[in-house]
């Protein structure tokens, strides 16, 4: 029920959007319509294909990583492979992106892909494919920067978790835009996921925190503007988030030398 100037009415009679209609209105603020979850499925396909290729080329087993694909693509600040120095500190900047599509085991892959399907489908259909792509990669880069910042330089990091935490951050912003409150399911999901991050061994805390921050900032940037500005200023700000992640990563790897 809603209080109006002529008394209490139900939401429909008062013309107040609730439930799905309210969320749909929030999506309209982005200037886009739902376009299905095609990109989410493509990203899942790429991750699975990379893992199969890693195994097919002699890259470890179902329960452990390894091989040339893993060695060339895993995120590592600095390390030694075949007697040579490797890593981001050696100019191998592609590792910030390729590590987002590598996984340490079949369980690692399965867990991340289920999360990506459930959460990514919601966000992509709400904000549209292109904006989802921007959020995903900005979050992934922010996660890679966070992993470099809080992980020992010689420890490899892999996984789509940074981007997935970014999707959680996007859900938090979307929920706030739709309801005016942060006290909802998205916040609970983030709280539980962060708790697991801190209590589970061999988890990239920096990757998860960085991805979450990147997703929140990117989605806020895309949702803050409307009309023509939403198509120009929003993506430009997301680009700045990606650049800031690269700068943070650069500062971090430079500290290895110093």
Q: Of the residues 121, 208, 223, 245, which is catalytic?
A: 208
Strand segments, DSSP code E, in the chain are: 2-4, 7-9, 79-81, 84-86
Interatomic CA distance for residues 78 and 253, integer angstroms: 8
> CB-based contacts of 103: which residues, under 8 Å, 6+ apart?
47, 51, 65, 109, 112, 158, 159, 160
Q: Which of 161, 204, 223, 245 is catalytic?
A: 161
The Cα 144–Cα 149 span in angstroms is 9
Active site residue 208: yes
Could you give the angle at the alpha carbon of 215 between the alpha carbons of 245 and 182, nearest 5°? Answer: 140
> Rounded to the nearest 5°, which phi and psi values hold at 182?
-90, -10
Annotation says 105 is catalytic:
no
Residue 55 in tokens: 């195994």
Cβ–Cβ under 8 Å, residues 191 and 235: no
What is the greatest pairwise CA distance in the chain? 81
Active site residues: 161, 208
């Amino acid at each position: 029920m809603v209080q109006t100037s002529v008394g209490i009415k139900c939401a429909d009679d008062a013309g107040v959007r609730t439930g799905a209609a309210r969320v749909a209105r929030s999506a309209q603020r982005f200037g886009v319509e739902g376009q299905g979850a095609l990109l989410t499925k493509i990203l899942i396909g790429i991750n699975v294909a990379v893992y199969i290729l890693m195994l097919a080329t002699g890259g470890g087993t179902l329960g452990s990583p390894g091989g040339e694909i893993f060695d060339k693509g895993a995120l590592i600040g600095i390390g030694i492979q075949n007697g040579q120095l490797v890593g981001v500190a050696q100019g191998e900047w592609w590792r910030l992106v390729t590590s987002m599509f590598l996984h340490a085991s079949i369980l690692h892959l399965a867990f991340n892909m289920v999360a990506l399907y459930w959460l990514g489908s919601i966000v992509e259909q709400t904000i549209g494919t292109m904006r989802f792509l921007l959020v995903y990669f900005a979050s992934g880069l922010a996660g890679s920067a966070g992993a470099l910042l809080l992980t020992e330089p010689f420890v490899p990091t892999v996984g789509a978790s940074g981007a997935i935490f970014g999707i959680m951050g996007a859900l938090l912003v979307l929920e706030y835009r739709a309801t005016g409150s942060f006290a909802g399911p998205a916040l609970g999901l983030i709280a539980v996921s962060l708790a697991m991050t801190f209590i589970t061994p061999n988890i990239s805390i920096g990757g998860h925190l960085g991805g979450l921050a990147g997703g929140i900032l990117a989605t806020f940037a895309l949702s803050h503007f409307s009309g023509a500005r939403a198509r120009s200023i929003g993506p430009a700000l997301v680009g700045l988030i990606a650049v800031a992640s690269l700068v943070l990563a650069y500062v971090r790897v430079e500290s290895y030398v110093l």
